[in-house]
């Protein structure tokens, strides 16, 4: 544990309440009134994964299109304006209750960075809400590449000027973060907020339910 110098964080779902934000955006979208919200959440997530696997497009477009697809899965149609407002709302999605305090505890011992699949302005808005001292922000917009591709982690090593053995990557998604980071040889901390079952191939360095528990694991 003492060998880590930098913690690289996924932001949405790990620090910011991603699913809570999606549910709030559904409630605020008139064309989605009465939908099965949990089904919408699942369908939007599946559509998101399909869209980021293709050619790069700005994440605001990905989020808007994934909302349209999830609406169509329930025989609904949302307007372009509603889809764009849904996507824009990401900047106001709220941190988890423990995020601010835990990040400041961790910053007393480690350098912090964030690797995110969103656009740069959205990540900057969310980091401002978190009020934490991130020294580096790396986004899909900067790289024109989405996790689980390798570009975020390779860019982080170049920017931070560190060997991967000095970095612990922290995330809440096995698909987007844990598996690709482990495949590249990074140590990982899986924040298992959705209480997912790990397969035999999943071997994070740490598995914790929240960021307070991560602080304890890292002795902060």
pLDDT digits (tens, 9 = 90+) for 36-87: 999 999 999 999 999 999 999 999 999 999 999 999 999 999 999 999 999 9
Flag whether 1 is in a domain. Answer: no
Instruction: Give the β-pairing of 134-139 and 206-208.
Output: unpaired
What confidence score (pLDDT) does residue 146 get?
Answer: 98
Instruction: Indicate whether 78 and 100 sit together in one domain.
Output: no
Instruction: Indicate whether 109 and 78 sit together in one domain.
Output: no
Instruction: Indicate whether 102 and 190 sit together in one domain.
Output: yes
Q: How many domains does the chain have?
A: 2
Distance between CA atoms of residues 104 and 123, nearest Å? 18
Flag whether 130 is in a domain. Answer: yes
Distance between CA atoms of residues 95 and 115, nearest Å? 16
Instruction: Indicate whether 128 and 82 sit together in one domain.
Output: no
Instruction: Indicate whether 186 and 164 sit together in one domain.
Output: yes
Instruction: Indicate whether 125 and 185 sit together in one domain.
Output: yes
What confidence score (pLDDT) does residue 200 get?
Answer: 86
Distance between CA atoms of residues 92 and 86, nearest Å? 11
Instruction: Indicate whether 58 and 141 sit together in one domain.
Output: no
Instruction: Indicate whether 56 and 137 sit together in one domain.
Output: no
Task: Flag whether the pTM goes above 0.75.
Answer: yes
Domain span holding position 179: 6-17+94-217
What confidence score (pLDDT) does residue 2 get?
Answer: 58
Which residues of the chain fall short of a pLDDT of 50? 1
């Amino acid at each position: 544990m003492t060998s880590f110098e930098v913690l690289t964080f996924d932001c949405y779902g790990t620090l910011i309440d991603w699913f809570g934000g999606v549910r709030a955006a559904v409630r605020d979208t008139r064309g989605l009134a009465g939908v099965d919200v949990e089904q919408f959440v699942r369908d939007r997530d599946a559509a998101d994964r399909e869209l980021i696997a293709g050619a790069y497009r700005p994440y605001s477009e990905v989020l808007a299109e994934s909302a349209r697809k999830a609406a169509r899965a329930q025989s609904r149609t949302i307007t372009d304006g509603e889809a764009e407002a849904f996507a824009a709302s990401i900047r106001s999605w709220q941190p988890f209750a423990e995020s601010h305090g835990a990040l400041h505890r961790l910053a007393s011992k480690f350098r912090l960075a964030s690797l995110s699949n969103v656009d740069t302005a959205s990540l900057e808005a969310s980091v401002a809400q978190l009020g934490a001292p991130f020294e580096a922000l790396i986004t899909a917009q900067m790289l024109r590449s989405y996790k689980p591709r390798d570009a975020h982690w390779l860019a982080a090593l170049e920017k931070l000027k560190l060997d991967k053995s000095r970095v612990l990557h922290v995330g809440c998604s096995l698909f987007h973060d844990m598996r690709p980071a482990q495949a590249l040889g990074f140590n990982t901390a899986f924040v298992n907020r959705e209480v997912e079952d790990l397969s035999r191939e999943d071997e994070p360095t740490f598995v914790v339910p929240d960021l307070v528990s991560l602080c304890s694991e890292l002795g902060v």
